[in-house]
Structure 1
Amino acid sequence: MSEAVRPSWWRRARHSLRVRLVLLFLLLAVAMSAVFLGGIGKAFSSGWRGAVDPLIGDYADRLVAEIGSPPSVERAQAIAAHLPVVVHISGPQVNWASGARPQRGPLWAREDRPDRAAVLRQTADGHRIELSLSARPAQGAQRFVWITLALLLALTAAAYALVHRMLRPIRAIGEGARRFGAGQFEPPIPVQHARHPDELSELAQTVNHMAGDIRQMLDAKRTLLLAMSHELRSPLTRARLNAELLPEDAATQPTRDALLRDLGQMRELIADLLESERLASPHAALQFTPTDLPALARALIDELAVANPLAASVRLQADAALAAPLSLDAGRLRLLLRNLLDNALRHTPAGAPLPELRLRRSAEGVLIELRDHGPGVPPEQLAQLAEPFYRPDGARQRGTGGVGLGLYLARMVAQAHGGRLLLRNAEPGLLAQVVLPAHSDLQSNQ
């Protein structure tokens, strides 16, 4: 059976540390039992055989003497009826057996007959008497086997429960690490408070301390970034004002336009940085108002068409179910759509179909889909595409513009609304999907 078609429980069990530990304990118990029983058996067989064999021989002689010579079948029957012994008599006068000879199991095995559980005696009248232990199962042996199996299963279940309890902190540590990696540092990983903490509780405390240090560094970075952004606004405003006051003549016009363009990009960058830090705050405040989503998208496309005529040809499709206003932060949603459209138009090559914007209802709420027909993104870079300041290698040319904050801001706006941003290759092009939950619907809140 291939890995793809195996049941999910099988894959989880195969990769479960608990299951592997329990199996290890079972194998260790079986191996120790086998070694112990083998050693005890070897010790008894080598140490006690010399002492037991004379006793067995003497007992066999007494039984043979009781049977008599010539052998008495009646006495042999009485012995076989009262003792767990099989009697075989063969000779010139009597040939009789109380049962079948056992084929395996050296119970009274002699060195000259290791394959038989028997003791042989030759009588004076030429008869051969063979005594062997009966192979009849002892009464209650089957019940003992089932009880043993039940006890083994109970011990296995108890071992699994104990291992599950011992490894419970590992699951909490894994969930906490994933939560910290997503930027959610509260609540911390629970620590088992005990008089003698073990290694797992110490590991949980270490991860909590690490998360606290990372949070402090991120807060310090955010504070420094906000301070720098605020401080840069005033000199940029003065520089732009001085650039606009330059004389407009043919010699200085190209320099003046380039300077104003660069200053405008710097102003937009600072605005995006401030907005990203506001949205990254756990107390980000959204201004929910009744919003006509298709009308907002159409107005934004018309606005973008002033600077980029290609934007006027963006195909917009909206479901009729979105005609009713939605409770959204119109300003932040406009930022999300603008960044997605800018990214799609920037990476649409000449002659390729223009981006397609679709607004529709879904089972989860509202779905915004924007597809371009550009070169797409290497699959290994999709996971980092919405990270701040990340740009694929093909988007680092000066002519494409952008600093890698557009998709990051779109993701932050979606998350602030309780939704998510999904990016995948559409072959050709890139498909961006924004899912906004149903609770953002104005009608559902009324």
Structure 2
Amino acid sequence: MTLRHAKRLFHSVFTRLLIVTLIAGMAITFTVIVGFIAIRVHSKGALERNLLLYVEYLTDDLGIPPDEGRAREIARRTGMTISYAHGDQSWQTGPPPRYFNPNRAWVRQRVPGIWVGSSKGHHFVRIFHGGGELTFIAPRDMHHGKEAGWILAGMAATLALILGGAYWVTRQALGPLRKLKAGVDQAGKGKLDHRIPRSGSSEFCDLADAFNAMAERLDHLLHSKEQLLLDVSHELRSPITRLKVQLEFLKDSEMRESLGSDLAEIEAMITSILESARMRHAAAVLNLESVDMGQLVRSLAAGFAEIEPGVAVGELADVSAVVDPEKIRTVLRNLLENALKHTPEDGTAVSISMAAAPDRIDIVVADKGEGIPASELPHLFEPFYRPDRSRSRKTGGYGLGLSLCKAIVDAHGGTIDLASTPGEGTTVTVSLPRSADSQQS
């Protein structure tokens, strides 16, 4: 996983909610454990008090000096281990419990001459009696330990089920957000006909309805704007034709030539608008085929050999891609023409190169021309947008070329990015998927 994907995953709402759920689960578990420990400590004190009271009865029962036979009978009935140490009269009713180590036990003195402690869950009491040291060891209940283990395992399994259920519920609840993001991505690519299905809670349904209504209005406005432009451009052809006819009867040749030039420019603009609209509609219809991209770039660059300062072909990856070759040629031709148009004839040649990745190819067109201000970059792919409005249309065009390039690249499922620094030049990167499956996804 790359650093960018890791940051994106960490900053997602779903991940944060999941982290909150995990922290809440851990806090609940910690609280339960602390509660169990507090109960155990409290019950341990009560156990010791009861054990001391019981040992007092047993001590009286054993007599002075302690009766070994009686001690063995008590040990058999209670499961205790009783030992007595007094010179040559030392005895023990049986081996101490497993893992019991009195030298490493936790010991405290309750009253003078009486010690109470525990080792590995085994409690013991040591007292002075009959001139010697009498020890009672109460082993822990092994079955109780197993039951406690099963209880803890059950708690862990229950907690895992709770967290798993919280994960599933959270993911289901935030599912509409992923659909909304997909809709926003589609709208950002210009696919305003995409609609978000209504699902989830009422708030998400309202959000989906608001997005769909917004996309529909934008689609309608853009379609109306484009249709109006086409209608006006088409209707202007007739009066321009009549003006050209009338212009032939004008006696002043200088004025006739000047007006004719203006009419030719207007006619060229109308033709460019209509042709661009036709090509934008056709951009979505792709005739895909496997194309040797290196050969395509070389053949295209060869067509600019006689235009100063020329096109230098850089490193080209020998790969193929499933594209519409004619439309990709249109994209690259427009980019090279723009780069040459804004590079001095005695300047550095425009370069074109290509790199390949497992799933895409990157075609880079770079020039060392005049460059574009940073404030203009976000608008360059908008139709009719021209960074330098003082340029003549003869050299600056009508602001339709980059818009058409973006429409074609978007139809291929790719991206087109532009970076520029005034006085240093401009670099355009076209990324295209290598397979048709990548384009459909």
TM-score, length basis structure 1: 0.66
**CA 1:82–1:289 in structure 2 vs 1: closer, same or farther (change >3 Å)?**
closer
Q: How does 1:199-210 map to 2 (within 5 A)?
A: 200-210=200-210
Candidates 403, 406, 410, aligned match of 2:401: 406
Question: 22-31 vs 425-434, which deviates more?
Answer: 425-434
SS in 1 for 2:102: coil
Q: In structure 2, what is the Cα distance between the partners aligned to 1:415 and 1:13?
A: 29
Once residues 181 and 303 of structure 2 are traced to their aligned partners in structure 1, the CA distance between those partners, rounded to angstroms, is: 40
Cα deviation digits, residues 277-333 of structure 1 (max 9, x gap): 6258xxx4457899996798479759xx8xxx538x3357999x99xxx99484x55
Asked whether the 8 Å contact 1:370–1:431 carries over to 2, the reply is yes
Q: Does 1:420 align with 2:414?
A: yes
Among 131, 137, 146, the residue aligned to 2:136: 131
Partner of 1:23: 22
Task: Please list, as runs of the form range in 1=range in 2, the aligned pairs for 1:255-404 lying within 5 A after superposition.
Answer: 257=261, 259-260=262-263, 263=266, 266-267=269-270, 270-271=273-274, 274-275=277-278, 278=281, 284-285=284-285, 297=300, 301=304, 309-310=307-308, 313-315=310-312, 328=324, 330=326, 332=327, 335-349=330-344, 351-357=346-352, 370-374=365-369, 384=378, 387-389=381-383, 395-396=387-388, 398-399=390-391, 401-402=396-397, 404=399
Partner of 1:129: helix, strand, or coil? strand
Q: Does the aligned pair in 1 maintain the 2:308–2:346 contact within 8 Å?
A: no
Cα deviation 1:195-214 (Å, max 9, x = unaligned): xxxxx433432332123112
Q: Using the alignment, how far apart are the partners of 2:132 and 2:389 within structure 1?
A: 109
Q: How many residues align?
A: 406
Query: Distance between the aligned counterparts of 2:384 and 2:148, measured in 1?
Result: 69
Q: Does 1:167 align with 2:166?
A: no
Q: Is the 8 A contact 1:353 1:373 kept in 2?
A: yes
- After superposition, give the CA deviation of every residue in 1:57-77 in whole Å (9 maximum; x if it has no partner): 442122112322112344434
Q: How does 1:141-290 map to 2 (within 5 A)?
A: 141=145, 145=149, 148-149=152-153, 152-153=156-157, 155-156=159-160, 159-183=163-187, 184=191, 188-191=195-198, 200-233=200-233, 234-235=235-236, 238-239=239-240, 242=243, 245=247, 257=261, 259-260=262-263, 263=266, 266-267=269-270, 270-271=273-274, 274-275=277-278, 278=281, 284-285=284-285
Give the conservation status (yes or no) of the 8 Å contact 1:109–1:119.
no
- In 2: Cα distance, 1:40 partner to 1:270 partner: 84
CA distance, structure 1, for counterparts of residue 221 and residue 429 of structure 2 = 29
Cα distance change, pair 274–252 in 1 and its aligned pair in 2 (3 A): same
Q: In the alignment, is the contact (CA less than 8 A) between 1:185 and 1:211 conserved in 2?
A: no
Secondary structure of the structure 1 residue equivalent to 2:25: helix
Q: What runs of 5+ residues in structure 2 fail to find an aligned partner?
A: none
| C-alpha separation in 2, matches of 1:14 and 1:81 | 65
User: Does the 8 Å contact 1:374/1:430 carry over to 2?
Assistant: no
Q: CA deviation at 1:220?
A: 1.7
The answer to whether structure 1 residue 89 and structure 2 residue 88 are counterparts is no
CA shift in 2, pair 1:436/1:44, >3 Å: closer
> 3-state DSSP class of the match of 1:310?
coil
Amino acid at match of 2:136: L
Q: What's the offset of the Cα at 1:14?
A: 9.3
CA distance in 1, matches of 2:142, 2:338: 84
Distance change in 2, residues 1:361/1:262 (3 Å) = same
Distance in 2, Cα, partners of 1:406 & 1:285 = 18
Distance 1:424 1:84 in 2: 85
Q: Quick one: which amino acid aligns to residue 427 of structure 2?
A: L
Shift in CA distance, 286/433, structure 1 to aligned 2, threshold 3 Å? closer
Distance 2:69 2:11 in 1: 64
Shift of 1:412: 1.2
Q: Which moved more, 1:285-294 or 1:137-146?
A: 285-294
Cα deviation, residue 30, structure 1: 1.1
Contact 2:385–2:399 (Cα < 8 Å) also in 1? yes
Q: Distance in 2 between matches of 1:89 and 1:318?
A: 94
Q: 1:373 to 1:203 in 2, by over 3 A?
A: farther
Q: CA deviation at 1:370?
A: 3.6
Give the TM-score, by structure 2 length.
0.66
Runs of 5+ consecutive residues of structure 1 not aligned to the other structure: 193-199, 441-446
The answer to which structure has the higher strand fraction is 2
Q: Which amino acid aligns with 2:58?
A: L
Deviation at 1:229, TM superposition (A): 0.8
Q: What percent identity do the matched residue pairs reach?
A: 17
Contact 2:362–2:429 (Cα < 8 Å) also in 1: no
Give yes or no for contact 2:84–2:133 (8 Å, CA) kept in 1: yes
2:429 corresponding residue in structure 1? 432
| 1:22 and 1:160 in contact (8 A); partners too | no
CA RMSD of aligned residues (A): 5.4
